[in-house]
Amino acid sequence: MAEFVIDSVPARLAGNTYNLDEDESHIEVDQELARRTGAGKLLERICPAHVYTVEADGTVSVEYAACLECGTCLAMAPDGVLKWHYPRGSFGIMFREG
């Protein structure tokens, strides 16, 4: 029987269902504080959806469309680094299995 193939995280997320809010991100990063606290690297590795990426210039970019809305980043980031709330009603991840 064929071995189960573990795809890349973006490929896995492509199989999920999202209702994307194109007008509004639900995540904001305080870039200055993120740089000072080194939070970018932490966010990059703890987020299971790989929402955060530390760019070459040290800023943290946010692929909010991929967010699975678990809240781990808010719970782990140093205070003030993130403004994070749930997406507006009906937007965001739509689990079909859960």
Partner 1 sequence: MSQEVDFEVIVIGGGVAGAVCAHTLAQHGREVLLIERGAEPGSKNLSGGVFYCRVMEQVFPGFVDVAPVERRITRNCVSLVNPGSHVTIDYWDKRLAEPVNAVSVLRAKLDAWLLEQCEEAGVTVMPGVRVDSLIVDGGRVVGVRAHEDELRCHVVVAADGVNSFIARQAGIRTKEPMKHLALGVKSVIGLDRTVLEDRFHVRGNEGAAYAMVGDCTQGVAGGGFLYTNDESVSIGVVMRLDDLEKSGLSSSDIHDHLLAHPAIVPLIEGGTLLEYGCHLTIEDGPAMTSHDLTRPGLVIIGDAAGFTLNTGLTIRGMDLAAGSALAAAEAIRRALDAGDFTQAAMDEYRRQLDAGFVGKDMATYSRTPAFLERPRMYTDYGQLAADVFHGVFNHDLTPRRRMLRVGLDALKASRVKLTEVMGDALAGVRAL
Q: Token pair for residue 75? A: 């719970």
Cβ-contact 68, 49 below 8 angstroms:
yes
**Options 15-23, 27-35, 54-62: segment touching partner 1 (CB under 8 A):** 15-23
Dist CA 39 CA 23 (whole Å): 26
Q: Taking CB under 8 A as the rule, does residue 61 contact partner 1?
A: no
Q: Which of 38, 58, 71, 80 binds partner 1 (CB under 8 A)?
A: 71
Among 88, 27, 20, which Cα is nearest to 60's? 27
Three-class DSSP category at 56: coil
Q: Taking CB under 8 A as the rule, does residue 23 contact partner 1?
A: no
Centroid of chain to Cα 7:
18
Return the amino acid letter for 62. Answer: V
- Given the complex with partner 1, which of 24 and 57 has the nearer CB atom? 24
Q: How near is the Cβ of 50 to partner 1 at its closest, in Å?
A: 7
Q: Which of 28, 36, 38, 69 binds partner 1 (CB under 8 A)?
A: 69
Give residues in contact with partner 1 (CB under 8 A): 1-4, 6-7, 9, 12-13, 15-16, 19, 42, 44-50, 68-72, 74-76, 79, 85-98
